[in-house]
Chains A and B, each alone.
Chain A
Amino acid sequence: MSRQSGRMAGMNSRRKDEIAGWLFTAPALLMFLIFVLIPTFAMLYLSFTSYKMLTPPTFTGLSNFIRLFTKDSRILTVSLNTLKISVISVVLNVVIGIILALLITNRKNGIYSYIIRLFYFFPNIVAPAFIAIVWAILLARDTGVVNYYLHSIFGLQPMGFLTEGGLALGSVIGIDIWRNMGFIMFILLAGIRAIDRSYYEAASLDGANTFQLARHITIPLLTPSILLVMVINIIGELKTFDIPNIMTEGGPNNATRTVAMYIYDTAFSKMSMGYACAISVLFVAVIMVVTILQFRLSNRWVNYD
C-alpha cells in the first residue's frame, strides 16, 4: 500500500514538473507559433495562390513554381549573384578571420590588442544602411573620394566601383567582408582561447615553431568554431539585402541584385505576393539544404576532441 502511494506521489510530482516545464516554455512556444510557424505555413499556402494583397488569394496550384522554373529568366541571375556573394564572402571572411585571430592571439601588449580588436569589430556595430550610404559616397565614380585619390596618386581614370557589373559585385562583397570579419575574428579568438594550453606546451617542447603550432594545433582544434561561423555567415550572406539595395539598387543590369531583393521587389513593387512566397519557399529550402550539407560534411573535417 505504502509502495503504491509512493509511486502515486512520484507520478504526481513528475506531472507537476511536466506542467511547470510546459508553463515555462509556453511564452517561447507561443512566440514561435505566432512569429515563425504560422507565417511559415501562411507563406507555404500563399505560394500556391495568386495574391495581390487587396483581393483574397486565389488558389492556382503549382503555377507559381512552374513560372519560377520555366519562365523567370531573372531568378537565375539573382541566384547566381547570391551564390557568388555567399561563397566568396564566407571563404574570405573565414580565412581573414582566422589570420586576424591568430595575429591578435600572439600579441602580448594588452592595450594594443584591445585597440586592434575594437578597430576590426567597429564596422559590425554600425547599421548596414549607414555603411552602405557612406561607402556609396566614397566609391562614387565621378564624385567619390576613392576615385579622387586614385587619380591624384596613381593618375587613374575614374572607376565605376558601383556602376560596372563585375566591379559593383566585387565592391558589395568587399564591403560585406569588411563589415563581418571583425565579428568572425571575435568568435574564432574565443575558440583559440578555449584550446588547452598544454597542447602548445607539449608541442613547443618538441620544437614546433609558431607556424607549426597554428597548422597542427590551433586550426584543427578551432574547426568547431570555424563550422559555427560558416553556418552563421552563410545563412546571413544568402539573405543579403540592405547593402546592395542601398548602394546599387541591384544594378547595373541586375549585376548586384540578390534573391532577397528580388523577393522584396516581387512582393511590394509588383505586388505579386503569391509568386514572392513561391520564391521564398524555394529560398528557404535552399538554405535548409545548404545548412544540412554543412553539418553532414562537417564530420569529415571538424575535430571535436
Chain B
Amino acid sequence: MKKFLSLMLTLAMLLGMMSISMNALAEEPIVIKLSMAASDAEKVSCESAIARFEEKYPNCKVDAEFYAGLSWDEIIQKQLTQFASGTYADVVYIAIEGTQLMVNYGLFQPIDDLIEADKDYFSPVPESAFKAFEVNGKYYEVPFNCNDMCIVYNTKMFQEAGIETPGQWTVEEYLDALGKIDAYYNKPDTPNSEKVWGVVTGETPYMWAAAYGTSVLNDDWTASNITSDAMKEVLQFQYDLVYKYGYSPVRESNTDEVSMFCSNRLATFIAGPYILGSLKNNNFTDWDIAIVPRGKENGSAAYGVGGLGMMTGCQHRQEAFNLMKEFCSIELSMTQATEATSLPLFEEAANSEAWLAQSPHINVFYDELPNASKLPSPICYAELNVIMKNMMTNIVTKAMTIDEAVALADQEIAAAYEEFEF
C-alpha cells in the first residue's frame, strides 16, 4: 500500500511539474535579439519603434544591443566577430557596405517572400532604398536610414562673395564659385593656416567618381575600374583642387570638415543627411543644400543605405520581419524628419513641414535619391576602403603620381578580391 501511495504521489508531482513547465512555455515570449548601431538621437527613435512593436505583438520581446561611434568597417568587424564567437543577434543593422559580405558568407537569409507579402506597406519607400540590398536578384535587408551625398554650403559666404544659389551646377560652375570665395576671403599672401577654404578633397574618391559618371569598380563590383581614364580624370580634379587652384587643404587623417565649416573656415563640403545633427549641435544655421556638381552629363549623386538584415539562424522569421518593418515605418520616418537623423524614407515624411523646415533646399536630398548611384560596396569593402584612403593620401600628399597610385591600388584591389574568392 505504501509503495502504491508513494508511486501515485511521484506521478502526481511529475504531472504537476509538467503542467507548470507547459504553462511557462506557453507564456514564454518570443525574444528577438537586435544588434543596432545608433547615435543618441537615433537610439530614442529606435526605442520607440521597439515599444510600438512590443505593443502590437505582446507575445514578442526585443533584446536590443545598441552601440555608437563606430565606422562601417568597424561595425562589420563587430558583427563578424560576434558571429564567429556564436553570440549573434536575430536582426542585425548593417549598411550596404557590409551586405555583400554577410550574404556571401551565408549569414543573412533572403527576405523576398516577406517583402513581397507586404508590398503595399513598402510602396511609399523609394525603390532605390531596397535596390541597395539586392544581391544576385534577391533582397536581404529592409532599409532603415538613407544618405545620399549632396553639397552642404555656407549661405552667408556665398551671398557675401556674390554667388547665386546653386541649382543644377557643373564642376566648372562649382570651381567658379570656389574661385569667388577664394578671391573674396583670401589675399594672395594669406598663409594656408589662415585661409578660408572652398572644399576639402575626398577621403575616398567615391562621391566625385559618381559625379563624373564613373566608379572605382566596374558595374557589378567584380573588378577594379581605378585605372580607367574616367577615374584618372576624377583623381586629377581632386589633385588640382589642392595644387592647381589652391581651394582645398591637403586632407589629413584628422581633418574635421564640420568644425571647419561651422567656424567659417570652409565654404562647402560633401555630406549626406547624417551631418544635419552635427550642424544643429554646433548651432550653425547659415547652410543650405545643393546637388553635387556634375563632372559629366551622366554624373549623379552617390548614396548609401543602412538596413536591417535577418540572420540565417533566426528562429522566428515572421516576428523578426515584423520588427524590421517597424524600423521602416511612417512613424519612424517622421521622427527621422523631425530629428534630422537621416533622409526620411517615406515620401510623406520627406514632404513634412518638419523635414522641409531644416533648410530652404533640403528637398534636394530626397529628389536626388532616385537617380543616385549606389556606393561601391563589394564583398571586400573594408579592404577597398583602406586601399582607396591610402591611394588618396598618396595622391594629395604627392607621395606618388596619379598613375603610380592607381596602379598600386589596382593591384591591391585584385589581391583583395582573390582573398574573398568562393
Contact = CB atoms under 8 A, between A and B. Distances in A.
A254 B83 CA distance: 32
A140 B382 contact: no
B107 A54 contact: yes
A143 B397 contact: no
A53 B84 contact: yes
Q: What is the interface of chain B mostly: helix, strand, loop, or mixed?
A: helix
Contacts of A137: 254
A151 B193 contact: yes
Contact of A269 (B83, B105, B193, B383): B383
Nearest to B85: A53
A133 B105 CA distance: 36
B390 A251 contact: yes
A255 B394 CA distance: 10
B394 A251 contact: yes
A50 to B, nearest CB: 10
A262 to B, nearest CB: 11
Given A141-B249, A249-B393, A54 B105 contact: yes
B389 A249 contact: yes
A152 B191 CA distance: 9
B393 to A, nearest CB: 4
B374 interface: no
Contacts of B105: 54-55
Interface string B247-258: 001101111000
B390 A271 contact: no
Interface stretch (A84-92, A156-164, A206-214): A156-164
B254 A140 contact: yes
A19 interface: no
A128 interface: no
Contact of B84 (A54, A251, A255): A54
A268 B194 contact: no
Interface residue tally on B, bucketed by range: 35 or more
A269 B386 CA distance: 8
Contacts of B191: 147-148, 151-152, 158
B192 A253 contact: no
Contacts of A268: 73, 77, 382
Contacts of A247: 253-254
A224 interface: no
Contacts of A250: 390
B419 A271 contact: yes
Given A54-B107, A163-B252, A268-B73, 20 more contacts: A54-B105, A136-B253, A137-B254, A140-B249, A141-B252, A142-B197, A142-B250, A143-B193, A143-B249, A144-B193, A148-B193, A158-B192, A163-B250, A163-B393, A165-B399, A247-B253, A249-B393, A253-B390, A269-B385, A269-B386
Interface of A: 53-55, 133, 136-137, 140-145, 147-148, 151-152, 158, 160, 162-165, 246-255, 265, 268-272
27 contacts: A53-B80, A55-B105, A133-B254, A136-B253, A136-B254, A141-B192, A143-B260, A147-B192, A148-B191, A148-B193, A160-B397, A162-B253, A163-B393, A164-B397, A164-B399, A165-B399, A246-B253, A246-B254, A248-B252, A251-B394, A252-B399, A253-B399, A265-B386, A269-B73, A270-B380, A270-B416, A272-B419
